[in-house]
DNA sequence: CTCCTCGGGTTGACACTGTCAAGTGATACC
DNA sequence: GGTATCACTTGACAGTGTCAACCCGAGGAG
């Protein structure tokens, strides 16, 4: 009873998400677990979607903080920082796949709750910073954005496919190697500025 | 009334999936639409999960057939075929994101229905063939599998992120360019056989 | 022809869900 | 003291998935 009810409900939902997918999550169940009536959540949230969005926002915000810490701990080399972000992201998807699905899936819209929107922006900014720092001088902003999406998509896809057991387990076991290989491939491709054709000899120019 | 009820139910569900996400799909609603009682689906399917799995199987099987046709139409050059597969996959995710989510998401397990399992295997085999044909001579099978997962993950991630409007719309508009760039990056990286460090000068050896 | 089985479908019930409407009680303010 | 507000409860309603029982027509066995 120490915390406020609003936070207790969110934390109970996050706890359940660790083991159960989001679509089966019941407002009444959460309320029961918190020892309040089935209508209590409606005082703090605008229906089920609003509640789920708030849950996703809280969870994603925490994940973003963890990821930022991992990036900081990785030192100053841009590719090391990007790699740390990628591994943090994969760890997030692996340990909390249902939360990740909720935050970036169709059950909820970023417009449903401001904290979700804010957390998504924080995470995106982190990605943008890490990818941007890996770009050679003179890379245009649109190209950087495209590379952000490519990098995110790559890590996202690999992480989600393995988290939901869609790839042979023998392959999933080597997830880290796959991820590192994909990142190497991405970053080495970035050494070429946009529009230009591949020019391996240009890699050393700052 | 011409078709069998089983197929009418599946088709009605696939139709609804084109516009509504799978988690809100109601068995009773589907049954009503087909003009039968709310219990009729249980004659043919083992509960909701079994029904959803069958729906996903039917939809994924069709998508696999379309993708295979697109690959064939692309000619004989391996990278062209892989590119055709990637674009077909992205088209599938873009036009039927909810069906894709259902087939590869946590709402359903491949073990829930044999047709889903078979369709998933067909699609995977298609991927494996296309990726395998792009590998230089002597690439080990485990390495090929890893590259399958990397390629699938990359395309899957980029497609799903844009389909669910998680990236800035200005970037999503250039989806094809992003996809082609990612594929170029992947395939050029594959010109190096596994274990060896990057060696740009070796790209021409067969 | 009668009897029986059985697959495809129906009806009815149950527990459960999200959500609307109204009520309650304490706390803060004029 | 009165009153407005906030956090919460109680009660209802429609809709859902699922279990159990029933029904009915076609097909085969005797």
**What average pLDDT does range B132-156 have in this prediction?**
96
* Minimum-distance CB partner of A104 among B104, B154, B166: B166
Task: With a cut of 90, say whether residue B205 has pLDDT above it.
Answer: no
pLDDT at position A180, please?
96
Contact B167 A157 (CB under 8 A): no
A193 falls in which pLDDT band (50, 70, 90)? low
Tell me if chain B has a CB within 8 Å of the CB of A191: no
Residue B193's pLDDT is what? 59
- What rounded mean pLDDT belongs to chain B? 92
Residue A1: the pLDDT is: 45
pLDDT of residue A191: 85
Across the interface, whether the CB atoms of B149 and A170 are under 8 A apart is answered: no
Instruction: For chain B, say whether A107 makes contact (Cβ under 8 Å).
Output: yes
Is A43 within 7 A of strand C by CB distance?
Answer: no
Optimal mutation site among A56, A146, A183, interface B, most CBs of chain B within 10 A: A146
- Integer angstrom CA distances of residue B90 from A120, A137, A161, B80: 24, 32, 16, 15
d(CA A75, CA A71): 7
pLDDT the model gives residue A17 = 97
Q: Which DSSP string corresponds to A83-139?
A: HHHHHHHHHHHHH-HHHHHHHHSTTS-GGG-HHHHHHHHHHHHHHHHHHHHTSPTT-
| pLDDT, tens only, B98-136 | 999 999 999 999 999 999 999 999 999 999 999 999 999
Is residue B202 less than 8 Å (CB to CB) from chain A? no
Alpha-helical segments (H) within chain B: 5-17, 27-34, 41-44, 47-73, 78-95, 97-104, 114-133, 141-163, 169-172, 175-190
Structure confidence at residue B131 (pLDDT): 98
Tell if the CB–CB gap between A161 and B164 is shorter than 8 Å.
no
Q: Would you say residue A200 has pLDDT above 90? A: no
pLDDT at B3 (0 to 100): 78
Q: Is the pLDDT of residue A151 over 60?
A: yes
């Amino acid at each position: 009873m120490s915390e406020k009810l609003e936070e207790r409900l969110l934390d109970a939902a996050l706890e359940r998400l660790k083991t159960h997918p989001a679509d089966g999550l019941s407002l009444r169940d959460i309320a029961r677990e918190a020892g309040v009536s089935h209508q209590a959540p409606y005082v703090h949230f605008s229906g089920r979607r609003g509640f789920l969005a708030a849950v996703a926002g809280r969870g994603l915000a925490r994940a973003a903080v963890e990821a930022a810490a991992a990036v900081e701990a990785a030192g100053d080399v841009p590719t090391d920082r990007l790699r740390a972000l990628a591994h943090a992201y994969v760890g997030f998807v692996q340990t909390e796949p249902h939360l990740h699905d909720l935050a970036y899936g169709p059950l909820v819209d970023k417009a449903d709750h401001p904290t979700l929107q804010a957390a998504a922006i924080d995470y995106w900014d982190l990605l943008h910073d890490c990818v941007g720092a890996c770009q050679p001088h003179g890379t245009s902003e649109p190209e950087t954005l495209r590379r952000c999406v490519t990098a995110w998509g790559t890590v996202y896809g690999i992480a989600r496919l393995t988290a939901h057991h869609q790839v042979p387990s023998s392959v999933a076991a080597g997830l880290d190697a796959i991820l590192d290989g994909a990142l190497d491939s991405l970053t080495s491709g970035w050494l070429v500025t946009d529009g230009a054709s591949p020019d391996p000899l240009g890699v050393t120019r700052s």
